[in-house]
Amino acid sequence: MIRGLIFDLDGVLVDTAKYHYLAWKRLCAELGYKFDINDNELLKGVSRIRSFEIILEINNVTKTPEEIEHYCGIKNGYYLEYIRRLTEDDILPGAKEFLEDAKRLGYKLALGSASKNSRLILDRLKIEDMFDAIIDGTKVQSAKPDPEVFLKGAAELGLKPEECIVFEDSAAGITAARNGHMRPVGVSNPEIRDYCDYFIRSFAETTAEVLVKKVTGE
C-alpha cells in the first residue's frame, strides 16, 4: 500500500532545469568547452560536482579536484543569479494543488533532490512547510542513480521503500527510485517516458487519488 510520495525538485516541482542549463552553458562558453542541450540531459538529477565531471569527459579534459570545486562555485554563482528571481508563480502547473490534495488524503510527503540549493528554492516557492521530510544534496553522500536520497526520504517518513512513489524528471532519478525498490513516476520529460511505471506531462492533468490508483492498480 502506498503511504508516501517523494518529489524530486528541479524539473518536477519547478523548472529550474533550464537555469542549470544556462549556468553551465555560460561557464562552458568561458572555458571554450562544447556543451549543448543534449549534453545537458546527462546532467539532470546528477550532483553539481558529477555534472562538471561529465562536462570534462565530453570535452576530453582533466582538472584537479580543487579546480573542479572552483569551477562548480562559479557555475553556482550564475545559477543563484537566476533562482533568486523565482517567485511562487514559478511552481509548475498543478504541482501545488497536487501536494495539497495528497496531504488532505493523508499521504506523507518528502523532497528527494540532489540540489544543495533546495531550501532556497522551496523558500522562494513558499512550499517548504508542506513536506514532512526534506532530503537534498546537503544530506547525502551518493548521487542519483544511487537510491540514497530516496531511501533517506522514506526512512525519515517512517515508511518502507515499497510504500513510496517517487516523482522524477531525470533518467538518473528513475533508476535511483528503482534501485531503492520504489515506484517511479516520470514527470514532464518525454525522454524518460519508457523507463517509468507511469508518466504524466504535468501535475495539472491528474490528482493524487487518481494517480496512486493508476500506478498501483489498487
Distance in angstroms (rounded) separating the CA atoms of residues 110 and 126: 15
Tell whether residue 207 is a contact of ligand B16 (CB under 6 A).
no
Nearer to ligand B16, 104 or 187 (CB): 187
Q: Which of 68, 67, 75 is nearest to 54 (CA)?
A: 68
The DSSP code for 47 is: -
Tell whether residue 47 is a contact of ligand B16 (CB under 6 A).
yes
Nearer to Mg ion, 41 or 59 (CB): 41
Nearer to ligand B16, 8 or 148 (CB): 8
Tell whether residue 20 is a contact of ligand B16 (CB under 6 A).
yes
Nearer to Mg ion, 4 or 45 (CB): 45
Tell whether residue 43 is a contact of ligand B16 (CB under 6 A).
yes
Tell whether residue 25 is a contact of ligand B16 (CB under 6 A).
no
| Vertex 169 angle, CA 90 and 89, to 5° | 5
Region near ligand B16 per CB under 6 A, out of 85-93, 108-116, 154-162, 203-211? 108-116
Cα four-point dihedral sign 74, 144, 19, 96? negative
Out of 113, 188, 189, 206, point to the residue binding ligand B16 (CB under 6 A).
Answer: 113
Residues 6+ apart with CB under 8 A from 212: 2, 107, 165, 218
Distance of CA 37 to the CA centre of its chain: 18
Region near Mg ion per CB under 5 A, out of 4-12, 55-63, 97-105, 182-190? 4-12
H or E element, residue 81: helix 65-83
Nearer to ligand B16, 2 or 55 (CB): 55
Tell whether residue 186 is a contact of ligand B16 (CB under 6 A).
no
| Per-residue interface string for the shown chain with ligand B16, residues 70-89, x marking contact by CB under 6 A | ------x-------------
Tell whether residue 124 is a contact of ligand B16 (CB under 6 A).
no
Region near ligand B16 per CB under 6 A, out of 7-15, 57-65, 96-104, 193-201? 7-15
Catalytic center residues: 8, 10
Binding site for ligand B16 (CB under 6 A): 8-11, 20, 43-48, 51, 76, 113-117, 137, 170
